[in-house]
Amino acid sequence: MSLEVAIEKKVADFQLAVEFTADGAPLGLLGPSGSGKTMTLRAIAGLETPDRGRIVLHGRVLFDSERRINVPARKRRVGLLFQNYALFPHLTVAENVAFGLRLGKGKRGRRAIPSAVPNSGPSPVMSIDQRLAAMHLEGLASRYPATLSGGEQQRVALARALAIEPAALLLDEPFSALDTHLRSALERQLRDTLSSYKGSTVFVSHNLEEAYRLCEELVVLERGRVAARGPKKEVFRYPPTLEVAYLTGCKNVSRARRSADGHIEALDWNCKLHVAQNFPKPPAHVAIRAHHIRVRPGDAAAPESRENAFSCWLAAMTETPFRVTLDLRVGGPPAHPRDSHVQAEVFKQEWDSFRNIPQPWLVELAPDRLFLLPD
């Protein structure tokens, strides 16, 4: 079962041209605001019409510009969870979940619909009340959206999206309006829900860690184009371009060139590096993620005796409840707080182990954590 998307559409200030396939495991759609993520979801759902292209869901053609096929949104059996949930304020929780379904005239607890996911095998028919229970919404069936918390509204919207047993589930930043505690709890619930869902899932998010936890495959969009796609570990480990490195949260990038001895000169970091990556092209940049940098106290051994280890001084630091971000200057003390080369993220416990030890410290850039980028 798969969702195949290859569409183009002219929008206000760029041309949307995306092509990807979502096979089974949830696919994450990443990119900055205005990159075309929501437009892509709306095109799959049938709320926007592409200028050209093709959308196929589990072998069923939903859109084909050449064949003039454009299945109406109401017949696509696609569940779309909007960023703002879009619940109907005049309908109760049960009525929101049941909206659009051709329900029988039985009792409320016995209303049900069949599965729309092909080849998924027999699945039990679920009533509206059972769907509310699955989202931990028992006792809220007769309530109205205005009386619900943000987390309850999100769960109602998810229950409504799943109520039609959709062949595809499209999630447009479903946690963006929630506080940290609710985000964590509902993310776990969504992960459990998706583990038994048989259709295709596309998950849009600005939160890189959230997308990494929920999705196995990633597509990165930039100004309407696919800048990267593939398994999440591959996209994060070896981003194909400088833009994708930034979009996936890399904070340390230096201009680079290969030296005669095969090492990489990091021109903005004032150091020469051994990089384990096999990179046949002339590199334009070298990069490393902040949490992959190791900082430790200096010792009697000269830094040059350790591979990719350099004397460093602290220029500035910021902290969260559990982590500390260190702005470090390589090779000499900083002239001011912004005079730094690399940014490292360490746990508080690690920071406490060396924070009071005199500088210089050692900063280590592991060869197998560095990655190179083309021009």
pLDDT in tens, 67-79: 999 999 989 999 9
* 17-57 pLDDT per residue, tens: 999 999 878 999 999 888 999 999 999 999 999 999 999 99
The pLDDT of residue 3: 95
Same domain for 260 and 228: no
Look at residues 5, 48, 49, 47 and name the one whose alpha carbon lies nearest to residue 23: 5
Beta bridge mates, 63: 55, 70
Q: How far apart are the first and last CA of the chain?
A: 38
Global confidence as pTM = 0.83
By three-state DSSP, how is residue 260 classified? coil
Same domain for 266 and 230: no
Q: How confident is the model at residue 117 (pLDDT cuts 50, 70, 90)?
A: very low
Does the pLDDT of residue 179 top 80, yes or no? no
Please identify, among 216, 237, 258, the residue that sits at the C-terminal boundary of a domain: 237
263, part of any domain:
yes
Same domain for 189 and 261: no
**What secondary structure does DSSP assign to 143-198, as a single string?**
--GGGS-HHHHHHHHHHHHHHT--SEEEEESTTTTS-HHHHHHHHHHHHHHHHH--
Tell me the CATH number at 275: 2.40.50.100
Please identify, among 237, 262, 295, the residue that sits at the C-terminal boundary of a domain: 237
Which token pair is 206?
């600005």
Cα-trace Rg, the chain: 25
Same domain for 145 and 273: no
